[in-house]
Amino acid sequence: MKKWYKLDNSAIVYTSARGRDYASLYRVTAILKNIVRPDILQEAVNSVSVRFPYYFVRLRKGVFWHYLEETDAAPQVKSDIVNPCKPIDLNEDGGLLMRVYYYNNKISVEFFHVLTDGYGAMIFLKTLLADYFKRACITEQSGGEDMIDVNDSPHEEEYEDSYFKYGKSNFQMPTKQKKAYRFRGTSEIQHTLNVITGIVDVSQVIEKAKSYGVSVNEYLTAIFMQVYYERQKYEQHWVDKPIRIGVPVNLRRIFPSKTMRNFIILSSPFIDPNLGEYTFEEILYDIKNYMKYWLNPKFLKAQMYMNIRTETNPFIRPMPLFLKSYIVKQFYKRIGARQNTAQISNVGIFKVPGYMEEHIERVEVLMGKPFFHSPNCGIITYKDKMSITFSGCIKETDIEREFFCKLVKSGIHVKIESNKI
């Protein structure tokens, strides 16, 4: 009998929000020093699939909830496509919820967010690269710190739903907030995802953030927020809306979890233009203090508890699946997606053992199609290079252009790449 798993709290939301034109996907890409050999890459994918059984699954419908069912299938390595993160079709590729692509010297892995978050994706990609390098005779060893040993058996902790383990609180979190401002542009044709990546020297960004007394993440979030703040002012609305930026937080930094499934939560620092004009320093100050207040275990436990109440609610639990999915989707649209202007996700530093470093040029992370129009931003750092990647499904590039212009004006050199012709 095939093993199956309950969806974690984040996965329930992502499954319910999925539609014909939308699914919460993201991509992590490694740009190598040598051309990729697809036959060897396929061997590596087949090898690591045994070690990550919780990623090689199909999404199934139960009477009351969706669930994940293990499969012996592994994704077939494919030549890359122009528009990444196309919504998952459960009738294609054996129903698998992840994909592996190659193009020249690039290896990309796409995950449906039902499976895991950015942390899990990075661990998987590192493990896949180590196995690929050894099979291609690029290195003599595989494995190391911050990756998983493919010869080891999966640990029970890796399957854990950490939201239920740590999400306990008697505090009732408020849920109602004002609708946030969102930039509305001209929609692209279906399944078109415009990608613009800025490559910067991470030391320059660190130096600039230190000059303001903030973290790199706070500094980049402040620039992102300022761009949207100025855009709304330029549009001259009768009444301005809050600028609220969704910032995913890896909860493993705060709680001792070793899960390889989702364990993130969305913080939402904001400013309200109706209170008056904001300087960049004031935006920084608000973000820094918001994050300092918000990122404490007690507050996070209350936030997790609020999110999992849908699963434990005695009135909702016996409802049939189609009705539950509708309720969760409406909750996501009204309380989740609409309350944020856009998202900026910094998944951190991509660390690999020394024997692998010389074979990797840099790494990128890409958030898939946004639920609404506003472009999102994904950030990842490898050695001395930081990749800042915007993704959106509108023709205008005002947000991306203004963001990178602000970096350049602050003294940070930016190299731009894009999939736009």
**Does the residue 159 lie in any domain?**
no
pLDDT surpasses 90 at 189: no
**Does the residue 8 lie in any domain?**
yes
CATH of the domain at 89: 3.30.559.10
**Does the residue 157 lie in any domain?**
no
**Same domain, yes or no, for 92 and 241?**
no
**Same domain, yes or no, for 267 and 374?**
yes
Question: How does strand 414-418 pair with strand 194-201?
Answer: antiparallel
**Same domain, yes or no, for 142 and 194?**
no
**Same domain, yes or no, for 190 and 315?**
yes
**Does the residue 165 lie in any domain?**
no
**Does the residue 361 lie in any domain?**
no
Domain boundary among 147, 180, 211: 147
pLDDT surpasses 70 at 338: no
**Same domain, yes or no, for 87 and 175?**
no
Q: Cα–Cα distance between 231 and 227 in angstroms, integer? A: 6
Please give the sequence-ordered ranges of beta strands (E in DSSP) within 169-255, or none if there are none.
194-201, 243-250
Please give the sequence-ordered ranges of beta strands (E in DSSP) within 167-272, or none if there are none.
194-201, 243-250, 264-267, 270-271
What pLDDT does 173 receive?
66
Q: Is 68 helix (H, G, I), strand (E, B) or coil?
A: strand
> How many domains does one find in the chain?
2
Q: Cα–Cα distance between 67 and 79 in angstroms, integer? A: 30
**Same domain, yes or no, for 25 and 134?**
yes
Structure confidence by residue, pLDDT tens digits, 216-240: 999 999 999 999 999 999 998 888 9
**Same domain, yes or no, for 197 and 97?**
no
CATH of the domain at 255: 3.30.559.30
pLDDT surpasses 70 at 336: no
Looking at per-residue pLDDT, the higher value among 191 and 344 belongs to 344
What pLDDT does 345 receive?
97
Instruction: State pTM to two decimals.
Output: 0.94
Domain boundary among 147, 181, 199: 147
Domain boundary among 147, 182, 208: 147
Give the up-direction half-sphere exposure of residue 226: CA atoms within 13 A in the CB hemisphere: 23
**Same domain, yes or no, for 140 and 200?**
no
Q: Which residues are 381's β-sheet partners?
A: 349, 386
**Same domain, yes or no, for 263 and 139?**
no
Structure confidence by residue, pLDDT tens digits, 14-51: 888 787 777 789 999 999 999 999 999 999 999 999 99
**If you average pLDDT over every residue of the chain, what do you get?**
90
What's the rounded mean pLDDT across residues 85-96? Answer: 88
**Does the residue 268 lie in any domain?**
yes
What pLDDT does 38 receive?
98
Q: Cα–Cα distance between 195 and 376 in angstroms, integer? A: 10
Cβ–Cβ under 8 Å, residues 49 and 56: yes
**Does the residue 351 lie in any domain?**
yes
Q: Is 291 helix (H, G, I), strand (E, B) or coil?
A: helix
Both tokens of 394, joined, read 């509108």
Q: Is 348 helix (H, G, I), strand (E, B) or coil?
A: strand
Split at pLDDT 50, 70, 90, the class of 253 is: very high
Q: Give the domain range for residue 196.
A: 171-356+366-418
Interacting residues of 227 by C-beta distance below 8 A, sequence separation 6+: 399, 402, 403, 406
**Does the residue 153 lie in any domain?**
no
- Between the alpha carbon of residue 126 and those of residues 47, 53, 123, 293, 343, the distances in Å are 14, 16, 5, 33, 25
**Same domain, yes or no, for 33 and 110?**
yes
Range with the poorest average pLDDT among 2-16, 45-59, 169-183:
169-183
**Same domain, yes or no, for 39 and 175?**
no
**Same domain, yes or no, for 289 and 409?**
yes
Structure confidence by residue, pLDDT tens digits, 273-324: 999 999 999 999 999 999 998 899 998 998 898 888 777 776 667 677 777 7
Q: Cα–Cα distance between 69 and 153 in angstroms, integer? A: 18
